[in-house]
Chain A
Amino acid sequence: QQKVQQSPESLIVPEGGMASLNCTFSDRNSQYFWWYRQHSGEGPKALMSIFSNGDKKEGRFTAHLNKASLYVSLHIKDSQPSDSALYFCAVSNNNNAPRFGAGTKLTVKP
């Protein structure tokens, strides 16, 4: 069964700094990878997806995927206090609903 693990559990970065979030998965057939962000008291919202090996940049956010190493990461450049949230990695393939990691709690200190 697919296992998705995220690290670190929590992360504190200064405003303007870089936040790096990591996610490993166990199923080599995994094909689709999402990052979700959840602000306190709200439902999660999809932040970005990545399907091919390499980097994908959307504004201040860059996702990196290495399927051979079973690894996906999210990097947030110029972090803002509004980026403070719980971040989830979600992994799926054609046959199963996405499986979520345990999340990384990001705090951006002004």
Chain B
Amino acid sequence: AQTIHQWPVAEIKAVGSPLSLGCTIKGKSSPNLYWYWQATGGTLQQLFYSITVGQVESVVQLNLSASRPKDDQFILSTEKLLLSHSGFYLCAWSLNWGLYAEQFFGPGTRLTVL
């Protein structure tokens, strides 16, 4: 069975500080991977996607970057946090691209920037 793990569960960080959020998927090889941001009770904004290791595409610019150093790992980071970065960050994977692309979401990381 596939499992998706995100870390940390929650973070409280200061404006201007760096950030690194992680996501691992076990039990599925070469998944498509996604990072989403969600304001409290709000819509899901796709940030990045990756079809293969080492390649990441940006969907929207929010002063964040992403990397996929391993097939099963997706990292979201920034060197300098803004207040607007607060929210719920969700990692997701899908088996297919576009076609029948059911997405499986992780439990999320709650980020509060003060």
- Cβ-based interface call for A7 (8 A): no
Whole-angstrom CA separation of A38 from B94 in the bound complex: 17
SS class, residues of chain B in contact with chain A: loop
Taking CB atoms, residues of chain B closer than 8 Å to A98 are 98, 101, 103
Among residues of A, the one whose C-beta sits closest to the C-beta of B107 is: A43
Is B1's beta carbon under 8 Å from chain A? no
A-facing mask of B38-49, CB < 8 A → 1, else 0? Answer: 000111101001
A18 contacts the other chain (CB 8 A): no
Asked if A96 is at the interface of the complex by the 8 Å CB criterion, the answer is yes
Q: In the complex, which residues of chain B have a beta carbon less than 8 angstroms from the beta carbon of A102?
A: 42-43
Q: Are A96 and B105 neighbours in the complex by a CB distance under 8 Å?
A: no
Interface readout for B9-47 with A: 1 if CB under 8 Å, 0 if not? 000000000000000000000001010000001111010
Taking CB atoms and an 8 Å cut-off, the chain B residues in 56-109 that contact chain A are: 59, 90, 92, 94, 97-108
Q: A103 touches which one: B43, B59, B97 (CB < 8 A)?
A: B43
A103-B42 in contact given A43-B107, A43-B108 (Cβ < 8 Å)? yes
Question: Of A45, A92, A94, A95, which is in contact with the most chain B CB atoms at under 10 Å from its CB?
Answer: A92
Contact A100 B98 (CB under 8 A): no
Q: Which residues of A contact B105 (CB under 8 A)?
A: 43-45
**Contact status A34-B106, CB under 8 Å:** no
Question: How far apart sit A30 and B47, CA to CA, in the bound complex (Å)?
Answer: 21
In contact, B99 and A46 (Cβ under 8 angstroms): no
| A32 vs B96: C-alpha distance when bound (angstroms) | 12
Complex A-B: 29 CB contacts under 8 Å = A31-B99, A32-B98, A32-B99, A32-B100, A32-B101, A36-B103, A41-B108, A42-B107, A42-B108, A43-B105, A43-B108, A45-B105, A46-B102, A46-B103, A46-B104, A88-B44, A93-B98, A94-B98, A95-B98, A97-B46, A97-B59, A97-B94, A97-B97, A97-B101, A98-B98, A100-B43, A102-B43, A103-B41, A105-B41
